[in-house]
Homo-oligomer: A and B are copies of this chain.
Amino acid sequence: MTLTELRYIVAVARERHFGKAAKACHVSQPTLSVAIKKLEEELGVSIFERGSNEVSLSPVGERIVQQAQQALEAADNVKQVALHGKNQLAGPLRIGAIYTIGPYLYPELIPQLRKSAPEMPLVVEENYTSVLTEKLKQGELDIIVIALPYAEQSIVTQPLYDEPFVVLLPASHPLTARKSISSVHLEDENVLLLGRGHCFRDHVLEACPACIPKPGLIGDLPHTIEGSSLETIRHMVVSGLGITVLPCTAAGAHSYSQRLLTIRRFSSPIPHRTVALAWRASFPRPKVIDVINTAIRGCNLSCVKYVRGRK
């Protein structure tokens, strides 16, 4: 078995066409055909099913190609390691965070990283968990910050901190009279939610099942209003459209004074989420993980509880 053969089967699996795959690999079609046949004989299974007018993957082939991709990635990483020399903290790092973390973590994290790894330029992105996951797996991102639970094949995760949720109220709201708020108090309130796809939306609904949006209108407005970001929701809370639930790191960073907005904590059991790092298991720069881990723990996120560190 050679890396070349693995490249060939990955190409055919991608192109679904021997000729095109051969072109993509810069070899002739017979070369590729022979190489694949040789590999199939060595492995004792047929990877592709040559139909009359199409090439498809056999069930085993599917998994073989997946595994081959991993092997190729690992081999590529050998080159990367050699390229970047001994300093893992040199060279760019592509980092992603979900929408409900990025805006509140990055302003703390990035200055920290500039200090601890000045030779590591950062490419930074915000997106949904699903998009970040895809980009991470495709190698378009190196490390992402998401909320647990999170389990993906060949992705390593590392919990960072537990983040309690808080309630954001207009200052004039009756609930501001309470010192802490239970999820039952939210049942009759108009709780503004993020749109579908935001995992924080699901976290809130889990903590407050009664907040599940109902179809229909109240006056001109839909029964439940969905915001496209925590900041738009904050504006709507100010404007009196309703109240909302925020992760605590998002509670402080805003431009409204206490005369307009009030924050109240939850009474026990306090709903919360666990924020974690995730990276490809094959990511070849362990020190980068350590540095980011340390940097986040060094961030001034006063309301969170850091998870005990890596051993």
Q: Which residues of A contact B (CB under 8 A)?
A: 1-3, 6, 43-45, 58-60, 63-64, 67-68, 70-71, 73-75, 77-79, 81-83, 85-86, 88, 148-159, 281-282, 284, 286, 307-311
Q: Are B281 and A45 in contact (CB under 8 A)?
A: no
A59 partner residues in chain B, CB cutoff 8 A: 86
Q: How far is the CB of A40 from chain B (nearest CB, A)?
A: 9
19 A-B pairs, CB-CB below 8 angstroms?
A43-B78, A43-B79, A43-B82, A44-B83, A45-B82, A58-B86, A59-B86, A60-B81, A60-B82, A63-B88, A70-B74, A70-B77, A70-B282, A74-B282, A149-B308, A150-B311, A151-B158, A156-B156, A281-B282
Q: How far is the CB of A220 from chain B (nearest CB, A)?
A: 37
Q: Are B154 and A159 in contact (CB under 8 A)?
A: no
Q: Are A284 and B67 in contact (CB under 8 A)?
A: yes
Q: Are A86 and B74 in contact (CB under 8 A)?
A: no
Q: Are A281 and B156 in contact (CB under 8 A)?
A: yes
CA distance A81 to B69 in the complex (A): 13
Q: How far is the CB of A33 from chain B (nearest CB, A)?
A: 19
CA distance A70 to B280 in the complex (A): 13
Q: Which of B44, B154, B158 contacts A282 (CB under 8 A)?
A: B154
Q: Are B1 and A78 in contact (CB under 8 A)?
A: yes
A153 partner residues in chain B, CB cutoff 8 A: 156, 286
CA distance A58 to B82 in the complex (A): 11
Q: Are A284 and B79 in contact (CB under 8 A)?
A: no
Known: A3-B3, A63-B88. 8 other contacts (CB 8 A): A1-B3, A59-B86, A60-B82, A149-B308, A149-B310, A153-B286, A154-B282, A155-B281
Q: Which of B78, B86, B88, B156 contacts A68 (CB under 8 A)?
A: B78
Q: How far is the CB of A104 from chain B (nearest CB, A)?
A: 24
A148 partner residues in chain B, CB cutoff 8 A: 159
CA distance A2 to B7 in the complex (A): 12
